Amino acid sequence: MTRRRVVFLLLVLTAIGAWYGWSTRSRPVPVTVIAVERGTVEKTVANTRAGTVKACRRAKLSPSVGGQIASLPVGEGDRVKQGQLLLELWNKDLDAQLALNKQEAASAAATARARCIEAQQAQSEARRQRTLRERKLVSEEQVDQAVSTANAADAACEAAQATAAVSRARVGVTEATLEKTRLVAPFDGVVAEINGELSEFVTPSPIGIATPPAVDLIDNSCFYLLAPIDEIDVADVAVGQPARVTLDAFRQRRFNGRVRRVSDYVLDVEKQARTVDVEVEFVNQGDIVQLLAGYSADVEIILDVRRDTLRIPTEAVIEGSRVYVFDASAGALTTRDIETGTSNWDHTEVLDGLQAGELVVTSVEREGLADGAPARIDPETEP
């Protein structure tokens, strides 16, 4: 082999080696980073399933007796006052019975007055006979007869008064029966739903069987949120803690709230996590006018607040105590153990292991991340 061929072969081998080294060298991993900063970190708990906006007072009303709807003076969406008539069943027979009972009561009262007047007169006669007897102008027998007549008149007066009382009570019974045929508003509110039309028949719900109410009345001056909280988290929840409420109907807007009640028992529903119902009231009364009962909602209950503390995105934390730090000057990653404090879905407090301004990797799911691995900031996410 000539010298020229040897040199050519060496050049070819060198080129192949250089190409192989270039092609197999580690390429920088594109990463998303964010600077460690100072700010607020909150410890929160949230509902496990969608919560529901509920009216503080809601009455699903139905007559306690069956009958035919004779009057329906309100419609869906009407605002009504406490005591206003909402629905009335046909009750002319009861009206007639009430009129009869009132007449009977009046007659019994008049009879009682007459009997009592007679009793007073008999007592006066008995006293007169006693006076005459003292003067020996009448016999003892006449006095006894006058006293007996007076006593009998007193008894007749008492009997007539008792009969009048029975008649008045009968009027009360009829009025109570008549009242069962009428639905009146127990509070100021808005009629949400009516199940029934004029001349239709309504029947009370059988025991143990729920039927649609004749009138659904909602007090729209007061609302609260009912949210299920996982039994594991609810131990830290207490009445008075602040909360943030978000509603699908209002997108990203947040409403200020406050815990007003924590249920006294755990809901054990088949195929669902065990939860405890927590009630959250709205702090600003101006927010209530925009709400409707039945809105779905989510709540964050704020358990603790750490202000002006070092924080990083929670997504940057690996296994609860480790992060990747990007060294811009070396173009490489280093693994760093950290001590964390309060944490939520967005941020985690850093107690030790990082300094403000250092860059931590948030794209921890990328392949190729390792201690010492070359990296570069992804240009699409570079701030």
The domains of the chain are located at 26-41+307-377, 46-55+223-304, 58-87+182-217, 92-178
Contact 176, 49 (CB under 8 A): no
Contact status, residue 291 vs residue 299, Cβ threshold 8 Å = no
Q: Does residue 281 contact residue 258 with C-beta atoms inside 8 Å?
A: yes
Q: pLDDT exceeding 70 applies to what percent of the chain?
A: 91
Model confidence at 15, in pLDDT bands (50, 70, 90)?
low
* pLDDT above 90 (res 16): no
**90 against 380, higher pLDDT:** 90
- CATH code for residues 26-41+307-377: 2.40.420.20
Q: Give 58-87+182-217's CATH code, choosing from 2.40.50.140, 3.40.50.1220, 2.40.50.100, 1.20.1250.20.
A: 2.40.50.100
The whole-number pLDDT of residue 343 equals 87
pLDDT score recorded for residue 48 = 86
Q: How far is CA 265 from the centre of its chain?
A: 16
Q: What was the pLDDT predicted at 140?
A: 87
- pLDDT-based confidence at residue 12 (cuts at 50, 70, 90): low
pLDDT at 250: 87
Tell me the range of 14-18, 235-239, 286-290 where mean pLDDT is highest: 235-239
pLDDT number for residue 354: 93
Cα–Cα distances in Å, from 336 out to 86, 309, 316, 363?
70, 19, 11, 16
Average pLDDT over residues 281-309: 89
Residue 221's nearest CA partner among 282, 300, 296 is 282
Segment 216-231, tens digit of pLDDT: 999 988 899 999 999 9
Distance between CA atoms of residues 9 and 13, nearest Å: 6
Please determine, for residue 13, whether its predicted confidence score (pLDDT) is greater than 80.
no
Predicted local distance difference test score (pLDDT) of residue 6: 62
Lowest mean pLDDT among 82-86, 97-101, 282-286: 282-286
For domain 46-55+223-304, the CATH superfamily is Efflux pump adaptor protein, beta barrel domain (2.40.30.170)
Which long-range contacts does 355-358 make (Cβ < 8 Å, 24+ apart)? 355/36, 355/310, 356/35, 356/36, 356/37, 356/38, 356/310, 357/35, 357/36, 358/35, 358/36, 358/325
Give per-residue pLDDT as tens, 34-79. 999 999 998 889 888 889 999 999 999 988 898 999 999 999 999 9
Dihedral, 120, 122, 128, 130 alpha carbons, nearest 10? -110
The answer for residues whose C-beta is within 8 angstroms of residue 181's C-beta and 6 or more apart is 63, 65, 67, 88, 89, 90, 91, 94
d(CA 173, CA 327): 89
Distance CA(34)–CA(36), nearest Å, equals 7
* CA nearest to 362, candidates 315, 312, 325: 315
| For range 285-301, the mean pLDDT | 87
Q: Is the predicted pLDDT of residue 25 greater than 70, yes or no? A: no
Q: What is the pLDDT of residue 301?
A: 93
pLDDT at 146: 87
pLDDT digits (tens, 9 = 90+) for 90-138: 999 999 999 999 999 999 999 999 999 998 998 998 888 888 888 888 8
Identify the CA nearest to 344 among candidates 43, 48, 38.
Answer: 43
d(CA 358, CA 64): 72
The whole-chain average pLDDT of the chain stands at 88
Burial of 14 from C-beta contacts in 10 A (0-12 / 13-18 / 19+)? exposed
Sign for the CA dihedral angle at 269, 274, 276, 280 comes to negative
Please write down the HEC assignment for all residues of 43-84.
Answer: EEEECCCCEEEEECCEEEECCCCCEEEEECCCCCCCEECCCC
Strand partners, 339: 352
Beta strands in 72-199 (DSSP E): 79-80, 85-89, 182-184, 189-194
Distance CA 349, CA 43 (A): 10
Using one digit for the tens of pLDDT, what is the confidence trace for 29-44? 899 999 999 999 988 8
Is 184 or 19 the better-scoring residue by pLDDT? 184
Which residues have C-beta within 8 Å of that of residue 163, sequence separation ≥ 6?
108, 111, 112
**Which of the pair, 221 or 379, is modelled with greater confidence?**
221
Lowest mean pLDDT among 16-30, 174-188, 247-261, 368-382: 16-30
The more confident residue out of 295 and 206 is: 295
Q: What is the pLDDT of residues 329-351, one digit of tens each?
A: 888 999 999 999 998 888 999 99
Please report the pLDDT score of residue 212 as a whole number.
87
Q: Is the pTM value of this prediction over 0.95? A: no
